[in-house]
């Protein structure tokens, strides 16, 4: 029942709102009904393109010949019942739109709580978990709030929500013992990057019509930057010595864990390569300068050392 009331409350709002500060003179149309977004939905694609790229799905309100409550060109006594009925329908449609405006109070009490709950679940899910949320409902909530010019508030709430989550993650890592530190950092990094795979598409309309257009940024880049600032930067100087120690002790941590962390750190801040070039070069191509002939014997000695270590740990040649 709650979902139905929300659909009735928000329905029709964006179709009537053709020109506002966030939407670049949208054409009329429905929202994309699937998480895949506009690429799989012609209506959603029309919304993202706008009237400059193709025709809209119907006339705008300004195209209707209406003046002072009656159709233009219909003199009294000449339009008959049809003209009166048309005028009544137009006024009823306008009234319906005005009645369905989402106020800031509606946004805070009804729409954002649903988004807040869904984001919570996405940020804390484990790989393979089933999340009992309606992606279509969340997608619709975002769409309606963008149409009703709540993009700025929604973006602010999203950033604050994720920042608070990452600060809690950072505190939990600080309390981790050294033998669990690397593994827990790997879990936090993987969990967050996995959550972005769902969060970013759900907010595609806000990204397209507010973040990209008005802020000249991108939502995914902003959210990755949050992890860098609130987690990775605070832990890199504790994490790197442990990674170097683990590298010198084969199989202290799994190769997949080491690879995930090193590649993740490089994605967050490429200049961190300078802290441990040899470590990053094992997982990131073309980090070190090209090999030179004078160092071939040193490379061979390193390979022999690695083979001895593998044999000592039970691996045959």
- Is pLDDT of 34 > 50? no
Residue range 101-311 in CATH 1.20.1310.10: yes
Residues 88, 123: Cα–Cα separation, whole Å: 49
> What does pLDDT average to over the chain?
74
Nearest by Cα to 5 from 140, 165, 203, 202: 140
Range with lowest mean pLDDT among 161-165, 174-178, 244-248: 244-248
Reply yes or no on whether the pLDDT at 101 is more than 80: yes
Query: What is the model's pLDDT at position 37?
Result: 40
CB crowding 39-69: b at 16 or more within 10 Å, else e: eebeebbbbbeeeeeeebeeebeeeeebeee
- pLDDT for res 290: 63
More confident residue, 207 or 286: 207
CB 79 within 8 A of CB 112: no
Higher pLDDT, 19 or 281: 281
Angle at 282 between CA 277 and CA 288, to 5 degrees: 45
Query: Looking at residue 252, what is its pLDDT?
Result: 81
Check if the beta carbon of residue 146 is closer than 8 Å to that of residue 205: yes
* CA 249 vs CA 174, 179, 200, 280: distances in Å: 23, 13, 38, 16
For residue 74, pLDDT over 80 is answered with no
Write out pLDDT tens, residues 258-301.
999 999 999 999 999 989 888 898 888 877 766 556 666 775 67
Q: Identify whether the C-beta of residue 45 lies closer than 8 Å to the C-beta of residue 57.
A: no
Question: Does the pLDDT value for residue 86 go beyond 60?
Answer: no
Residue 82 pLDDT class (50, 70, 90 cuts): low
pLDDT computed for residue 278 by the predictor: 87
| 180 in Cβ contact with 138 (< 8 Å) | no
**70: which strand partners?**
67
Which letter does DSSP use for residue 64 in this model?
S
| 130-171 residue pLDDT tens | 677 788 899 999 999 999 999 999 999 999 999 999 999 999
With DSSP H G I counted as helix, E B as strand and the rest as coil, what are the percentages for the chain, rounded to 5?
70, 0, 30
| The pLDDT of residue 234 | 96
Radius of gyration of the chain from Cα atoms?
A: 28
Q: How many residues does the structure list for the chain?
A: 317
Higher-pLDDT residue of 172, 66: 172
Lowest-confidence region among 92-101, 114-123, 265-274, 303-312 = 92-101
Q: Quickly tell me which residue has 């939905």 as its tokens.
A: 41
In the prediction, which pLDDT does 132 show? 73
Percent of the chain with pLDDT over 70: 59
Residue 303: predicted pLDDT: 62
Q: Which tokens is 98 given? A: 């005005």
Output the pLDDT for position 135.
87
């Amino acid at each position: 029942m709650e979902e139905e009331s929300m659909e009735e409350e928000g329905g029709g709002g964006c179709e009537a709102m053709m020109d506002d500060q966030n939407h670049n003179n949208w054409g009329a149309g429905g929202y994309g009904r699937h998480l895949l977004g506009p690429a799989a939905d012609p209506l959603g694609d029309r919304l993202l393109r706008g009237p400059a790229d193709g025709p809209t799905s119907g006339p705008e309100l300004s195209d209707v010949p209406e003046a002072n409550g009656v159709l233009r060109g219909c003199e009294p006594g000449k339009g008959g019942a049809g003209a009166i009925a048309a005028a009544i329908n137009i006024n009823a449609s306008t009234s319906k739109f005005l009645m369905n405006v989402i106020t800031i109070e509606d946004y805070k009490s009804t729409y954002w709580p649903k988004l807040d709950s869904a984001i919570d679940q996405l940020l804390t899910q484990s790989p393979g978990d089933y999340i009992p949320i309606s992606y279509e409902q969340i997608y619709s909530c975002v769409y309606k709030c963008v149409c009703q010019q709540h993009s700025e508030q929604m973006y602010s709430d999203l950033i604050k929500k994720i920042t608070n989550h990452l600060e809690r993650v950072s505190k939990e890592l600080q309390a981790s013992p050294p033998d669990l530190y690397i593994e827990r950092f790997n879990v936090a990094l993987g969990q967050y990057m996995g959550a972005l795979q769902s969060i970013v598409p759900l907010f595609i309309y806000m990204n397209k019509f507010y973040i990209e257009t008005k802020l000249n940024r991108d939502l995914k880049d902003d959210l990755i930057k949050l992890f860098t600032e609130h987690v990775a930067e605070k832990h890199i100087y504790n994490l790197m010595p442990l990674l170097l120690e683990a590298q010198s002790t084969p199989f202290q941590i799994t190769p997949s864990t080491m690879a995930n962390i090193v590649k993740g750190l490089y994605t967050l801040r490429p200049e961190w390569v300078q802290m441990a070039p040899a470590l990053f070069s094992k997982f990131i191509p073309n980090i070190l300068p090209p090999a030179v002939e004078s160092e071939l014997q040193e490379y061979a000695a390193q390979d022999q050392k690695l083979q001895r270590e593998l044999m000592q740990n039970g691996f045959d040649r």
